[in-house]
Structure 1
Amino acid sequence: MARAVKTATDLDKPRTLEKLEIERRYWLEQDVDWGIVTELDIPQVVVRNIAWVHGYGALSHLSQPYPGYFEELAARVLHELPARPSSSLRKFCADMDEGFSIERGTTLMLVRHLLARKKVRFRMDEPLDDSVPVERFLIPGIERLRSAV
């Protein structure tokens, strides 16, 4: 399957339509399903969720006490998630920040990093913020967190 991603307003431009027709013909010859996706085709909750985690895929650009510090902390956070399924993400992160004696907000940043790296999963068509119960997160290889304990 192949998709062209354009803004809805781009579809009003003749040159854009010409290019899309060339692309459509190419994929037709390749016998590949082809279509156009605009921002109107993507649910806003998905857009917001992607925006919430998108900038956290890499942490190496952040100042850290030693190389790999945040990755080490992220591994500890990943280990702790299954042990606290009934907690909200906000409470879990506050407890971890305090327990690890790290700056407030660091654990939330790490959870967003784990989501961006797909080490933790969440249904992106459901609202995602720090009020979400931890049990709604999935760790690949482990069933829902509530059944992991």
Structure 2
Amino acid sequence: MRGRRFATEADVDRHISNGFGQGAGASYVPWLRVQDVPSQGHSRKVQGIKVDRLHHLLSNLEYGYFLVCEFSEDVVDIREQYPLLPRGSAQAQASAMGLKYPNFPKSSVPYVMTTDFLLTVIKPDGSFGTVARTVKYESDLVGERADRTREKLEIEKEFWNSQGVDWTIVTEAGFTVELVQNLGLLRKFAQIPRALTQPTVVIDFLLSLRGFQGYPWTTAQVLKKVATKLFISYQDSRALYHYLIWHKRIKLDLIRAPLQMGLPLPELLIVEDTSPYRKTAEGAL
């Protein structure tokens, strides 16, 4: 699918009338899509698990943060590439700060600025709230060449602050490479055959897994022993192990330790009660 044209006011009006940057949940349409933005191979489209639609992620860092948001129990909706509309509000903020509002490349048409993620979250009191998060590599925020980037971020910040929406920058310092790799793996097992998720199967699996803790065996060896005990295949045992980590029935260190079958079974906590608990990964939000 071809990228869209952004050269005239008519182009912007047409994209707005076509619903880009509008909606919520599965009906949300990102203002920018992968095909609309020049890429060096780091953008991707990802079918959502938490929100049943295609998400458009424009960098590896955005993908990493997206995984954290999907895994978080506090995030209930993820809207990426969210436009700062109406532009008049953002332009007014820029003018008040004495900053130049950007135009579309090779055009005098005011640009439609975007925020990487607009999230609907559950607040500590149980109510719903909205937070805005911009994702940037730390290297993009330092040095003279980053001056214009920082100016545009100031405009974005004031746009959201004027609406009472919490806004901040997320960098790669907010989560580890191991966390992103682990969540990318676990996400593949977020949905497994229903027969494996029956309560009796899950309880038997967790009890067996607990019984094999403390032995000098690799994760693969333990899961093979569990499979034999429960009369299921090793592949099913491995899938259920990852599924239960993603769904918070097994809690372990996802931030520092890679999930590899050839490594010793990590220290883990089996959660009997499925009520929500805070995860160490929440700090990245």
Instruction: Compute the TM-score of the two structures, normalised by the length of structure 2.
Output: 0.39
Give the CA deviation at 1:102: 2.0
Unaligned runs of 5+ in 1: 63-67, 143-149
Distance 1:31 1:105, change over 3 A: closer
The 5-angstrom pairing of residues 103-114 of structure 1 reads 103-114=233-244
Conserved 8 A contact 1:74-1:111: no
Kept in 2: contact 1:6–1:38 (CA 8 A): yes
Judged with a 3 Å threshold, the aligned counterparts in structure 2 of structure 1 residues 74 and 10 are, in CA distance, closer, same or farther, namely farther
Identify the residue that residue 271 of structure 2 maps to in structure 1: 140
What is the identity, as a one-letter code, of the residue corresponding to 1:86?
G
Once residues 210 and 234 of structure 2 are traced to their aligned partners in structure 1, the CA distance between those partners, rounded to angstroms, is: 21
Question: Within 2, Cα distance between the matches of 1:110 and 1:58?
Answer: 10
Equivalent of 2:224, from 79, 94, 97? 94
Q: Which has the higher strand share?
A: 2
Q: Does the residue aligned with 1:105 lie in a helix, a strand or coil?
A: helix
Cross-structure match for 1:81 = 209
Contact 1:3 / 1:37 at 8 angstroms: preserved in 2?
A: no
Structure 1's 57 and 100: CA in aligned 2 closer, same or farther, altered over 3 A?
same
Q: Normalized against structure 1, the TM-score is what? A: 0.67
After the TM superposition, which residues 35-74 of structure 1 pair with which residues of structure 2 at under 5 Å, given as runs?
35-39=168-172, 41-59=174-192, 62=193, 68-72=194-198, 73-74=201-202
Give per-residue Cα distances to partners, 1:104-137, cap 9 Å, x unaligned: 2211110100001011111111212222325x11
Aligned-pair identity (%): 18
- Residues of 1 paired with 2:247 and 2:154: CA distance? 35
Distance 1:95 1:78 in 2: 13
1:38 to partner: Cα distance:
3.8
Matched position secondary structure for 2:168? strand
1:25 equivalent to 2:145? Answer no
DSSP-derived class of the 2:179 partner: helix
Structure holding more helix per residue: 1
Relative to structure 1, is the Cα distance of residues 75 and 41 closer, same or farther in structure 2, using a 3 angstrom cutoff?
Answer: same
Asked if structure 2 preserves the Cα contact closer than 8 Å seen for 1:93 and 1:107, the reply is yes
Partner of 1:4: 133
Report the number of matched residues.
131
Q: 1:3 to 1:41 in 2, by over 3 A?
A: farther
